[in-house]
């Protein structure tokens, strides 16, 4: 199966691949019962993967773990490694999941409690503590994986002319799989330990369609 733009992508049955040149995702789904081969092409993995999964969840060769395994990371929560279990009769229960309250009045999203995603940099299910500054901004770019760019606009006062000038700052923040954002949404981020070379903030709250362009004092 080939990418429409470059023709270099090839994925197997029931798998998900990404073109190295244009960055689009291609999912190839094959069903023995239906006997059909379908291709789904989308650019934003986190916003469209649920739709793809819901569409093909009844097919015999499609499963959610195939999507999760594209990440080169350890796909289990470290808290439950080497856990001691009591002997005796085993009772089938739902998979254990650990989550926490980040505090500061931020509510833990339902997806973090009931979801199955694994993200060690998530402020709700990972080992990241929120401390320091709490900022708000407008989503400017979602092209990176699990990282967004937010734009913060403000006014800078020039004493000589007694006027304000428009300024803005771009800020990179980690986006947990518990959230789904689009360009223009207003988000609240909290400062955490350095997660990468440029990421020092984590998304804590998302306000849909409430981003109004406007400058204010910084």
Identify the DSSP state of 32: T
Task: Quote the pLDDT of residue 50.
Answer: 43
> 61 and 117, same structural domain?
no
Q: Domain of 155: which CATH number? A: 2.40.50.1000
Quick check: is 8 in a domain?
Answer: no
Is the Cβ–Cβ distance between 172 and 198 less than 8 Å? Answer: yes
> Are residues 53 and 119 both part of a single domain?
no
Give the burial string for 12-35 (b: 16+ CB within 10 Å, else e): eebbbbbbeeeebbbbbbbbeeee
Greater confidence (46 vs 89) lies with 89
Considering only CA atoms, which of 174, 175, 201, 179 is closest in space to residue 190?
Answer: 201
Q: Are residues 116 and 174 in the same domain?
A: yes
Phi, psi at residue 26, to the nearest 5°?
-130, 125
Per-residue pLDDT for 209 more than 90?
A: no
In a domain, 7, yes or no: no
Task: Indicate whether 118 and 39 sit together in one domain.
Answer: no
Residue 29's pLDDT is: 45
Task: State the average pLDDT for the chain.
Answer: 73
Which pLDDT does position 218 carry in this prediction?
60
Of all residues in the chain, the percent with pLDDT exceeding 70 is 54
Domain count for the chain: 2
**50 & 127 share domain:** no
Question: Residue 52: its pLDDT value, please?
Answer: 43
Q: pLDDT by residue (tens digit) across 33-66?
A: 334 444 444 444 444 444 444 444 433 333 444 4
Q: Is 184 left (phi over 0), alpha (psi -120 to 50) or beta?
A: left
**CA–CA separation, 78 vs 118, rounded Å?**
10
For the question of whether the overall pTM of this predicted structure is more than 0.75, the answer is no
Residue 97: its pLDDT value, please?
85
pLDDT band at 11; cut points 50, 70, 90: very low
- How many residues does this entry show for the chain? 218
Which stretch, 69-83, 91-105, 151-165, has highest mean pLDDT? 151-165
190 and 114 both lie in a single domain: yes
The Cα 189–Cα 132 span in angstroms is: 11
Within a domain: 117: yes
Please indicate, yes or no, if residue 21 is contained in any of the structural domains. Answer: yes
| Residue 7 per-residue DSSP state | S
Mean pLDDT is lowest, of 73-87, 102-116, 119-133, 151-165, for 73-87
How far apart CA 117 and CA 132 sit, in angstroms, is: 27
Query: In sequence order, which residues have a C-beta less than 8 Å from that of residue 84 and are 6 or more positions away?
Result: none
Q: How confident is the model at residue 96 (pLDDT cuts 50, 70, 90)?
A: confident
Q: Considering the domain boundaries, does residue 155 fall inside one?
A: yes
Q: How far is CA 214 from the centre of its chain?
A: 27
Whether residues 116 and 203 share a domain: the answer is yes
Q: By residue range, what is the domain housing residue 36? A: 15-68
Domain-located, residue 94 = no
Res. 27 pLDDT band, cuts 50 70 90: low
Full 3-state SS string of 159-178? CCCCEEEEEEEEEEEECCCC
Examine residue 200 and state whether it is found in any structural domain, yes or no. Answer: yes
Tell me if 4 is assigned to some domain: no
The pLDDT, as a whole number, for residue 79 is 67
């Amino acid at each position: 199966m080939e990418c429409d733009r470059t023709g270099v992508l090839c994925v197997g049955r029931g798998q998900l691949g990404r073109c190295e040149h244009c960055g689009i995702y291609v999912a190839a789904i094959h069903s023995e019962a239906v006997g059909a081969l379908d291709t789904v092409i989308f650019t934003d993995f986190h916003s469209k993967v649920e739709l793809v999964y819901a569409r093909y969840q009844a097919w015999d060769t499609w499963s959610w773990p195939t999507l999760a395994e594209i990440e080169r990371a350890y796909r289990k929560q470290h808290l439950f490694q080497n856990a001691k279990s009591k002997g005796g009769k085993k009772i089938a229960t739902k998979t254990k999941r650990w989550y926490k309250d980040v505090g500061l009045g931020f509510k833990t999203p339902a997806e973090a409690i009931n979801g199955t995603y694994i993200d060690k940099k998530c402020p709700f299910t990972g080992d990241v503590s929120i401390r320091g500054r709490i900022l708000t901004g407008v989503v400017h770019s979602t092209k990176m994986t699990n990282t967004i760019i937010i734009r913060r606009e403000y006014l800078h006062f020039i004493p000589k002319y007694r006027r304000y000038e428009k300024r803005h700052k771009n800020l990179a923040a980690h986006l947990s799989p518990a959230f789904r954002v689009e360009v223009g949404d207003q988000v609240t981020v909290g400062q955490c330990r350095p997660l990468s070379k440029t990421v020092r903030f984590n998304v804590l709250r998302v306000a849909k369609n409430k981003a109004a362009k406007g400058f204010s004092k910084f």
